């Protein structure tokens, strides 16, 4: 028995009154199949940094050893084809999630370099939750990622923008690595391991909340650096196909954290090893620099075409407790308000929303509307194919919530357009 | 040194050596060893809830000399307060993590459309206390005493009603009356992001006169009222 697999996107989309904002494919053959479809999507997303590996040849030392999925020639060809079809091409970078669920082993990247891994209070990373994460507070991780983004900006000039995923897991409180502890000690004279997170004591609760806020603020500062590095390196007059959007709103956020003056400083050893101190000093400088910057969009010259930055965002994030939001260290609403992002790719268990009074998409869209920012809002749906996505409960739920645009992340290889393949 | 390992799947017949290999990281350790060092040590143990594995580790050159003893617990040994505190803290924390793992509060902005006074209390305790002493905080009670809990009066006396169009005296937060959001804006983004520029710090005369007007308050004087409603000694009167 055979089945014909084609990407009849237009008709399926029309029946759901949805716009197919993007198709996300990880492999060159998927991308090509997508572009060969009779009516391609508006955008194609390809992973350029995933599972702690660059998908293209890179000079960044930390990531140079991985076997690239794409050659630069292949990416240029996809860029050429997408340009011919009027499809925007985005590169996706999953910044910290270096070892996905089920892929942790003694041989993975973070097992080999455990000092780069972010850990919980028990000094492990609970692989049952989401896998292993690199530490946003480790200077080597941050510097390597910034270098990589700089490389993406210059080498991958065929891209119209980035899709960034920048978070830890909300399900587990990571942030007890040496690097993270040193950073927080330097910032607040507090060691995270001394914080009592489950107490009713108001003072202790205040310190815990201080830590959650600090986590959000520091990762936001890093995210701002990433976006600025990319936009600065790519902001050449008339050099991009992406729609122009100049954001002149200055960043007025008072990001300085209030001092915890009443905390007894003697509880904390603030003299870490010489190496750690040097690293931490560099990191603090990095964060400080980010705080002083205006919003990246503000630096864009009027008339210059800017590449777009989209962010993968947990749709339910602001329904979570402050503790879990702090654990995720993602503050996409703040990033929108800061002008860091041009669009959101919202993630959630959309199918689980079905029948709920208030769905995750509607909730996130409500918050987004309150910012007054003109950013695109797209729901990300994981499916084996575009067609299966469009038939899924997830899309039905999204439609019911008033979602108008989806992106489909294809979880397994697509058959080339029009080719006959054996049915399972 | 005391080392406690997390529960491992084991049968009574399982060789202790094999069991030891299934152990990865101790849950609690009291002593000078790091978890990473302990992970390298293979120790046979039994976890049956009625005994303790006392493990003694001694540095010998590059490795560790391990002695262990399986001690049945009969309750006569008493408690070491220091160790008990450590273990209690650990289990409290685990329990809390478990409790919050599935915790997902419905977004307050979805239910009410504004940050209610309880949200503000999280960071503005003095201002909350000051507001509670003011008549704004008792506005629903005023109506209730006069049997005027009706749609004509509620918009000014209840922020909840004004924002949602619904009011039940028994509903959570119904008694909060004229809440912070009536004067300072909905406060949703301010509450979520903590930005000072996303809240109205001093309400305008126009805001006050939405309620303090006409026959309801013919002598309303904005400047005087502002002083009266000022959050006292909290110093929260500066201009935006």
Return all residues near A345 (Cβ < 8 A) that are at least 6 apart: A22, A163, A310, A311, A312, A313, A378, A379, A380, A407
- Spatial distance between the Cα atoms of A409 and A345, rounded to a whole number of angstroms: 11
The mean predicted confidence, pLDDT, of chain A is 78
pLDDT of residue A203: 85
pLDDT of residue A116: 97
The 10s digit of each residue's pLDDT in B33-52 is 554 455 455 555 555 556 66
- Spatial distance between the Cα atoms of B114 and B221, rounded to a whole number of angstroms: 27
Asked if B238 has any chain A CB less than 8 Å from its own CB, the reply is no
B residues 84-103 near A, CB within 8 Å? 89, 92-93, 95-97, 100-101, 103
Return all residues near A194 (Cβ < 8 A) that are at least 6 apart: A267, A268
Classified as helix, coil or strand, A158 is coil
B60's tokens = 């010998």
**Contact criterion met (CB below 8 Å) for B43 and B70:** no
A173·B106 Cβ contact <8 A: no
Angle between helices A393-400 and A9-16 (to 10 degrees): 50
**Contact criterion met (CB below 8 Å) for A366 and B110:** yes
pLDDT over 70 (residue A234): yes
**Contact criterion met (CB below 8 Å) for B51 and B72:** yes
Continuous segment of H or E residues that includes residue A308: strand A308-314
Angle between helices A139-155 and A202-234 (to 10 degrees): 30
pLDDT over 80 (residue A343): yes
Residue from the list A198, A253, A358 with its beta carbon closest to the beta carbon of B92: A198
**Contact criterion met (CB below 8 Å) for B5 and B55:** no
Return all residues near A291 (Cβ < 8 A) that are at least 6 apart: A221, A255, A256
A213·B194 Cβ contact <8 A: yes
The greatest distance separating any two alpha carbons of chain B, rounded to the nearest whole angstrom, comes to 91
User: What count of other Cβ atoms lies within 10 Å of the Cβ of residue B167?
Assistant: 18
Asked if A80 has any chain B CB less than 8 Å from its own CB, the reply is no
Q: Phi/psi of residue B110, each to 5°?
A: -75, -40
**Contact criterion met (CB below 8 Å) for B220 and B208:** yes
* Percent of all residues in chain A with a pLDDT value above 70, rounded to a whole number: 74
For chains A and B, count residue pairs whose Cβ atoms are closer than 8 Å: 72
B109·A323 Cβ contact <8 A: no
Which position has the token pair 């959570």? B172
Residue from the list A121, A319, A371 with its beta carbon closest to the beta carbon of B107: A319
pLDDT of residue A115: 95
Distances A108 to A52, A64, A111, A149, B27 between C-alpha atoms, Å: 10, 15, 5, 22, 24
Give chain B's domains with CATH numbers. 2-95 (no CATH), 108-234 (1.10.1130.10)
Return all residues near A384 (Cβ < 8 A) that are at least 6 apart: A410, A411, A412
Classified as helix, coil or strand, A214 is helix
Per DSSP (E only), the strands in A103-213 are 131-132, 161-165
Task: Looking at the complex, report in whole angstroms how far the Cα of residue B59 sits from the nearest Cα belonging to chain A.
Answer: 22
B104·A358 Cβ contact <8 A: no
Residues of chain A contacting residue B201, judged by C-beta atoms under 8 Å apart: none
pLDDT over 80 (residue A189): yes
Which position has the token pair 């990033």? A335
B10's tokens = 């084991």
Number of alpha carbons in the 13 Å side-chain half-sphere of residue A290 = 24
Ordered DSSP codes for B12-57: TTS-HHHHHHT----SEEESS--HHHHHT--------SSEEEEEEE
Q: Where in chain A are the domains?
A: 2-422
pLDDT band for position A353 (cuts 50, 70, 90): confident
B35·A324 Cβ contact <8 A: no
The greatest distance separating any two alpha carbons of chain A, rounded to the nearest whole angstrom, comes to 75
pLDDT band for position A217 (cuts 50, 70, 90): very high
pLDDT of residue B45: 56
Q: Report which listed range, A21-35, A215-229, B112-126, is most confident.
A: A215-229
Query: From the candidates A175, A370, A371, which should be mutated to test the interface with B, based on the most B CB atoms within 10 A?
Result: A370
Instruction: Report CA torsion sign: A409, A415, A416, A418.
Output: negative
pLDDT of residue B93: 53
- Spatial distance between the Cα atoms of A150 and A300, rounded to a whole number of angstroms: 17
- Spatial distance between the Cα atoms of B236 and B140, rounded to a whole number of angstroms: 25
Paired with A54 in beta bridges are A49
**Contact criterion met (CB below 8 Å) for A197 and B93:** yes
The 10s digit of each residue's pLDDT in B118-154 is 889 888 888 999 998 899 999 988 888 887 778 888 8
**Contact criterion met (CB below 8 Å) for B130 and B231:** yes
Q: Of A383, A385, A382, A381, give the one whose Cα is nearest residue A3.
A: A385
- Spatial distance between the Cα atoms of A300 and B237, rounded to a whole number of angstroms: 37
Classified as helix, coil or strand, A330 is coil
Residue from the list A196, A316, A366 with its beta carbon closest to the beta carbon of B104: A316
A residues 162-181 near B, CB within 8 Å? 171-173
Paired with B68 in beta bridges are B55
How is residue A117 annotated by DSSP? Answer: B
Q: Of A145, A133, A151, give the one whose Cα is nearest residue A56.
A: A151
In this prediction, the residues of chain B whose per-residue pLDDT falls under 50 are: 1-2, 5-28, 35-36, 39, 94-105, 235-240
Task: Looking at the complex, report in whole angstroms how far the Cα of residue B54 sits from the nearest Cα belonging to chain A.
Answer: 20
pLDDT of residue B47: 53
- Spatial distance between the Cα atoms of B101 and A320, rounded to a whole number of angstroms: 10
CA A359-A364-A368 angle, 5° bins: 150
Scanning every residue of chain A, which has its alpha carbon at the shortest distance from the alpha carbon of B191? A318
pLDDT band for position A387 (cuts 50, 70, 90): confident
Asked if B197 has any chain A CB less than 8 Å from its own CB, the reply is yes
B35·A123 Cβ contact <8 A: yes
pLDDT over 70 (residue A266): no
A47-56, A206-215, A230-239, B196-205: range with lowest mean pLDDT:
A230-239
pLDDT over 60 (residue A157): yes
CATH no. for A2-422: 3.20.20
pLDDT band for position A118 (cuts 50, 70, 90): very high
pLDDT of residue B210: 93
pLDDT over 60 (residue A41): yes
Task: Looking at the complex, report in whole angstroms how far the Cα of residue A418 sits from the nearest Cα belonging to chain B.
Answer: 45
- Stretch A117-144: mean pLDDT: 90
Asked if B228 has any chain A CB less than 8 Å from its own CB, the reply is no
The 10s digit of each residue's pLDDT in A6-17 is 232 333 333 345
pLDDT over 70 (residue A101): yes
The 10s digit of each residue's pLDDT in A302-312 is 334 579 999 99
- Spatial distance between the Cα atoms of A255 and A223, rounded to a whole number of angstroms: 14
B192·A121 Cβ contact <8 A: no
Which position has the token pair 């006169």? B209
């Amino acid at each position: 028995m055979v089945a014909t697999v084609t990407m009849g996107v237009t008709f399926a989309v029309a029946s759901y009154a949805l716009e197919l904002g993007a198709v996300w494919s990880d492999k060159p053959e998927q991308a090509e199949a997508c572009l060969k479809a009779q009516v391609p999507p508006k955008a194609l997303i390809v992973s350029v940094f995933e599972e702690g590996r660059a998908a293209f040849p890179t000079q960044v030392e930390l990531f140079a050893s991985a076997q690239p999925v794409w050659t630069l020639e292949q990416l240029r060809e996809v860029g050429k084809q997408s340009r011919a079809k009027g499809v925007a091409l985005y590169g996706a970078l999953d910044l910290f999630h270096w070892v996905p669920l089920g892929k942790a082993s003694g041989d993975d990247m973070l097992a080999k370099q455990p000092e780069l891994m972010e850990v919980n209070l028990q000094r492990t990373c609970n692989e049952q939750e989401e896998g292993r994460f690199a530490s946003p507070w480790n200077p080597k991780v941050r510097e390597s990622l910034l270098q990589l983004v700089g490389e993406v900006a210059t080498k991958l000039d065929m891209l119209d923008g980035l899709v960034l995923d920048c978070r830890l897991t909300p399900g587990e409180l990571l942030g007890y690595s040496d690097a993270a502890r040193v950073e927080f000690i330097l910032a607040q004279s507090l060691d995270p391991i001394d914080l009592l997170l489950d107490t009713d004591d108001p003072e202790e609760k205040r310190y815990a909340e201080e830590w959650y806020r600090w986590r959000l603020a520091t990762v936001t500062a890093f995210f701002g650096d990433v976006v600025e590095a990319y936009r600065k390196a790519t902001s050449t007059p008339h050099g991009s196909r992406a729609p122009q959007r100049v954001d002149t709103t200055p960043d007025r956020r008072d990001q300085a954290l209030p001092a915890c003056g009443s905390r007894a400083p003697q509880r904390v050893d603030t003299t870490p090893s010489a190496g750690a101190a040097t690293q931490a000093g560099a990191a603090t400088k990095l964060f400080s620099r980010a705080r002083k910057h205006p919003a990246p969009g503000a630096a864009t010259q009027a008339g210059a075409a800017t590449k777009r930055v989209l962010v993968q965002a947990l749709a339910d994030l602001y329904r979570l407790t402050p503790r879990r939001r702090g654990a995720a260290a993602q503050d996409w609403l703040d990033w929108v308000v800061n002008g860091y992002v041009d669009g959101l790719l919202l993630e959630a268990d959309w199918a689980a929303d079905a029948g709920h009074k208030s769905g995750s998409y509607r909730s996130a869209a409500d918050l987004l509307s309150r910012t007054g920012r003109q950013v695109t809002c797209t729901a990300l749906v994981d499916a084996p194919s575009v067609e299966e996505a469009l038939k899924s409960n997830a899309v039905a739920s999204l439609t019911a919530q008033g979602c108008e645009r989806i992106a489909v992340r294809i979880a397994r290889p697509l058959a080339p357009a029009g080719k006959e393949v054996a049915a399972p | 040194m005391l080392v406690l390992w997390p529960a491992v799947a084991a049968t009574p017949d399982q060789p202790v050596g094999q069991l030891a290999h299934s152990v990865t990281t101790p849950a609690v350790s009291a002593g000078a060893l790091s978890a990473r060092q302990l992970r390298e040590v293979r120790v046979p143990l039994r976890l049956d809830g009625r005994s303790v594995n006392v493990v003694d580790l001694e540095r010998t050159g590059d490795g560790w000399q391990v002695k262990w003893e399986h001690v049945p617990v009969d309750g006569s040994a008493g408690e070491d307060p220091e160790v008990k505190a450590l273990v209690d803290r650990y289990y409290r924390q685990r329990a809390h993590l478990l409790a919050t793992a599935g915790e997902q509060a419905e977004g307050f902005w979805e239910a009410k459309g504004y940050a209610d006074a309880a949200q503000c209390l999280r960071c503005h305790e003095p201002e909350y206390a000051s507001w509670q002493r003011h008549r704004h905080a008792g506005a629903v009670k005023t109506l209730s005493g006069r049997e005027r809990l009706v749609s004509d009066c509620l918009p000014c006396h209840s922020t909840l009603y004004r924002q949602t169009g619904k009011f039940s005296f028994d509903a959570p937060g119904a008694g909060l009356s004229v809440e912070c959001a009536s004067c300072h804006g909905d406060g949703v983004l301010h509450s979520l992001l903590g930005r000072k520029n996303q809240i109205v710090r001093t309400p305008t005369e126009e805001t006050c006169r939405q309620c303090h007007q006409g026959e309801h308050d013919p002598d309303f004087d904005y400047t005087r009222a502002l002083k009266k409603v000022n959050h006292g000694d909290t110093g929260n009167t500066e201009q935006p």
